[in-house]
Structure 1
Amino acid sequence: MDLELRHLRIVRAVADAGSVSKAASLLGLAQPALTAQLKRIERVLGGTLFERDRHGARPTRLGELVLARARVLLPAAKELQEEAVRFAHASPSFRIGATNGPILGGLVDRLAAERQVSTYTSWSAHELTGMVELGRLDYVLTGACGDSGTPTGTLVWETISLDPVFCLVAEAHPVAREKEVELAGLAREQWAVTPGDGCFADCFAMACARAGFTPGTIYETDVSTCTHLAQVGRAVVLCQATHQAAQGLVMVPLAGAPLRWRQLLGRHPTTPDATWVVAQAKEAHKDVVRRSPVYQDWLVRNPGYGTAP
């Protein structure tokens, strides 16, 4: 009998459980069957792997050697299997997942000139990140507050841009003709924002606290409802500076950029074409900036923002 990965899993299970009976229960085997398996493994390896008594099972010196190798080999084999599955199921198209953002359309347009593109949208960056990790998507286009760290996990992340957060108000709103507005000047307003599972709500609350007030009602809803609430004067909408204002709305910068937003593109480390796709995402962002006179004017006065180098 040759040593197999399943044998190493048995050795690891016994060591982790601390007894053969507990390991058998965890593995869904009868204890006599697991005991017989363990004896066969010990014959292959040439010695006893565990000292067993009424207190349980403890690795011998040989058992410790085998266990140390098993703890390296088993994760490596699992990683190889997952990577092979990703390779075998690699799609000839670009599969892009995205949260609500302004550059997805431009990125799809650029990528579709070279290859078929499919998209999947969600309010949850965590969901999209998990889909990339499982090989169901190639890229995730999402964002994070400007002061937050890079998302954790196995993905490789590229910063596409650093943008300020502006506000959308109705054309008849008192601040609509202002070059920019202090956040404190909007203290009596109600607010609307699109949902997400990041830290933006907490960052907004802290920015308001620094400005000396607690925000009133915050409507967390879809883009069309946010737009309607702003148009009828029911709320001020927080938006990325790259947002294209709908009819009847005006985008006004917040003085001092108290809120910032980073556009991020995440991918699995084995995903091909990454450099080219990142470059296309940055060009898509530049295109959106060029279509926004308000943001272009703000960038002249506030260097250090915009498309990442």
Structure 2
Amino acid sequence: MDLELRHLRTIRAIDEAGSLTKAATALGLAQPALSAQLKRIERALGGRLFDRGPAGVRPTPLGEFVLSRARVVLPAMSALRQEAEEFTRSWHEVRGFRLGGTHGPLLGGLVDRLADSHPGAPVTTHISWSERELAALVADARLDFALIGTCGASTPPLDDQLEWREIAADPVFVMLAADHPLAARPEVELARLADQAWTDVPGDGCFGDCFTAACARAGFTPSCVYETDVASCVHLVQVGRAVGLCRATFPPTEGLVTRPLAGDPLSWRHLVGWHPQGPARSAADTVVTQAAAAHQAAADRAPSYVRWRSERADARA
């Protein structure tokens, strides 16, 4: 494993916190995950960095040596990034778009619209299941914008460092095989799916916990949840192996239907984030506008969502 700046930040965080538990909280990680990461770093450096005891952790001689170098390297890299941002701060024309996104149709729609509206500006993409990873890449100036989703009203990652703009908020729908007994219903009560296996895409937000809580309110605990990629989720639904959770904008797909969940127990917010002092901030309004247009186009192509919005509009009229 090659040593990276994030590893030095981890070592510094452990030293400052004085314990792995406190450092894990500060870093937004589970304590076992931080312990495993520390072991990998120690193997890469050739020895233990911290002695652990009842009072917490203390740096070993090797740990003190590494920390002394980290105290030089990390501020230097931070200064370099700040100077680079200042160097590019005077840019007023869009030179390119480095986009990060999770699964879903909006990233493709955004790429298409930016390529049309700025044909001379290259568009590159980076995909990750992790909203936190994408936010960190934007904070480190390795991406210009992150297009992510959050469950309900939950706070997006690194909200104290990045500026986030909500594009839209959608209900979460259920995917059913076209011949499923409930497929003909205009909406489906969650409790009617208590005996089903489920499939969903992975992520590091709170959606899994929110789904479990919604099921508990409906009187059951999911017996099985397959976390996998979108194509595999679709296949499992099509063959009747599971029912799936999806965004309301999920496009029409052969062999399955999407239906609202009665009472809208789950929701999903689409967000675009960028660094407020980064050079890409001058293009933020453009990206937000085009992302909103991509969402609207996706919503208009989803028949179940069109009906859902029409019914809500009629109810308010």
- TM-score, normalization: structure 1? 0.71
Indicate which of 274, 285, 288 corresponds to 2:284. Answer: 274
Partner deviation per Cα, 1:99-127 (whole Å, 9 max, x = no partner): 11221111111101212211010101111
Shift of residue 142, structure 1, vs aligned partner? 0.5
Instruction: State the secondary structure of the residue aligned to 2:167.
Output: strand
Name the aligned partner's letter for residue 154 of structure 2.
Answer: S
Structure 1 counterpart of 2:265: 258
Q: Please show how residues 1-309 of structure 1 align to structure 2 within 5 Å.
A: 27=68, 81-86=80-85, 88=87, 92-113=95-116, 114=118, 115-151=121-157, 152-269=159-276, 270=278, 271=280, 272-302=282-312
Residue identity over aligned pairs, in percent, reads: 50
Quick check: 2:252–2:303 contact (8 Å CA) kept in 1?
Answer: no
Q: What is the distance in 1 between the residues matched to 2:255 and 2:125?
A: 30
Distance change >3 Å, CA 296–CA 84, structure 1 → 2: same
Structure 2 counterpart of 1:31: none
Q: What is the distance in 1 between the residues matched to 2:105 and 2:172?
A: 13
Shift of residue 80, structure 1, vs aligned partner? 5.5
Partner deviation per Cα, 1:219-259 (whole Å, 9 max, x = no partner): 00011111110011000010000011321111111111101
Q: What is the distance in 2 between the residues matched to 1:87 and 1:119?
A: 24
Shift of residue 297, structure 1, vs aligned partner? 1.0
Size of the alignment, in residue pairs?
236
Q: What is the distance in 2 between the residues matched to 1:244 and 1:198?
A: 23
Q: What is the distance in 1 between the residues matched to 2:312 and 2:170?
A: 11
Shift of residue 289, structure 1, vs aligned partner? 0.9
Name the aligned partner's letter for residue 107 of structure 1.
Answer: L
Name the aligned partner's letter for residue 120 of structure 1.
Answer: H
- TM-score, normalization: structure 2? 0.69
Structure 1, unmatched stretches of 5+, are 1-15, 17-21, 29-73, 304-309
Runs of 4+ in 1 over 6 A off after TM superposition: none
Shift of residue 83, structure 1, vs aligned partner? 2.5
Instruction: State the secondary structure of the residue aligned to 2:223.
Output: coil
Name the aligned partner's letter for residue 132 of structure 2.
Answer: H
Quick check: 1:125–1:197 contact (8 Å CA) kept in 2?
Answer: yes
Name the aligned partner's letter for residue 284 of structure 1.
Answer: A
Instruction: State the secondary structure of the residue aligned to 1:273.
Output: helix
RMSD across aligned C-alpha pairs, in angstroms? 2.4
Q: What is the distance in 2 between the residues matched to 1:131 and 1:294?
A: 35
Greater Rg over alpha carbons, structure = 1
Quick check: 1:101–1:142 contact (8 Å CA) kept in 2?
Answer: no
Q: What is the distance in 2 between the residues matched to 1:101 and 1:213?
A: 28
Instruction: State the secondary structure of the residue aligned to 1:185.
Output: helix
Partner deviation per Cα, 1:61-84 (whole Å, 9 max, x = no partner): xxxxxxxxxxxxx98x97664232
Quick check: 1:157–1:266 contact (8 Å CA) kept in 2?
Answer: yes
Partner deviation per Cα, 1:183-219 (whole Å, 9 max, x = no partner): 0111111000000111110000000001111111000
Quick check: 2:152–2:268 contact (8 Å CA) kept in 1?
Answer: yes
Q: What is the distance in 2 between the residues matched to 1:95 and 1:253?
A: 34
Shift of residue 148, structure 1, vs aligned partner? 1.3
Q: What is the distance in 1 between the residues matched to 2:228 and 2:201?
A: 5
